[in-house]
Amino acid sequence: MTAAELKSQFPGVTERPSLDHPAVNVAAADIPALLQHLRDAAGFNLLADVTAVDWSEKVSPRFTVVYHLYSTSQHAYLRVAADCPDNAKPSVPTVSHLWAGANWHEREAYDMFGITFDGHPDLRRILMWDGYPYFPLRKEFPLAGIETELPDPEVVAETGVKARPAPMAGGPFVASSGEMNLGVAEPRAKDESWNERRPKPEGSE
């Protein structure tokens, strides 16, 4: 499936540079209609993934939502990308009514990037807790994370232990050439504030 084949019905579709699978760009407003056409008329019956790209605060449009479709009859992939027109409140229409699996994919993109999927039946965080103030896959979010209190009233009520900061871990990872055998060891993170150097929380054993 190419942009040229879709243009007769969706004039705004353009070809998107890609090194692996065919890819097209589409306006955000046309996402539901285009993806339904690809599912019903072109055989792309499987929504493999919904994700996003944050190009940085200096770029406009800043966010692009990306859909990966697969045809189980043609054994072919197609990538569909749509820019979010509003940098401050990025949003695109939901496709959860077309694929049930889009429900969780879109919730993850919302959780990680802060992109709203208009019309989603239950758009709430899926990995981070409600009220978490950051979007971990945005460019400004540090690789090592941000220490944030874990609000868990049930744990506090049962144990008397106050909420403690969520651990900062996960990178940036460093391993110079020849420093270690990566076949038997993993690189270490520069930030390891979560380890034994952190004092135990008040009230814990």
Whole-prediction pTM: 0.77
Q: Which residue has the higher pLDDT, 191 or 149?
A: 149
Q: What is the pLDDT of residue 196?
A: 46
Residues 64 and 108 in one domain: yes
Q: Is residue 123 part of a domain?
A: no
Among 5-9, 30-34, 86-90, 148-152, whose mean pLDDT is lowest? 148-152
Same domain, 105 and 156: no
Judgement on whether residues 161 and 112 belong to the same structural domain of the protein:
no
| Cα 86 from Cα 57, distance rounded (Å) | 12
Name residues whose C-beta falls within 8 Å of residue 15's C-beta, 6 or more positions apart in sequence.
Answer: 2, 3, 4, 23, 24, 25
Same domain, 69 and 112: yes
Distance CA 44, CA 66 (A): 15
Does residue 129 sit within a domain? Answer: no
- pLDDT confidence band for 27 (50 / 70 / 90): very high
Host domain of residue 52: 3-118
Please report, for the domain that includes residue 22, its CATH number.
3.30.460.80
- As for how many domains the chain has, the answer is 2
110 shares a domain with 15: yes
Do 67 and 80 meet the contact criterion of CB atoms below 8 Å apart? Answer: yes
Note whether residue 132 is domain-resident.
no
Let me know if residue 103 belongs to a domain: yes
Helix (H, G, I), strand (E, B) or coil at 16: coil
Which has the closest alpha carbon to 196: 169, 160, 157?
A: 169
Do 113 and 149 reside in the same domain of the chain? Answer: no
39-80: pLDDT as tens digits: 999 999 999 999 999 999 999 999 999 999 999 999 999 999
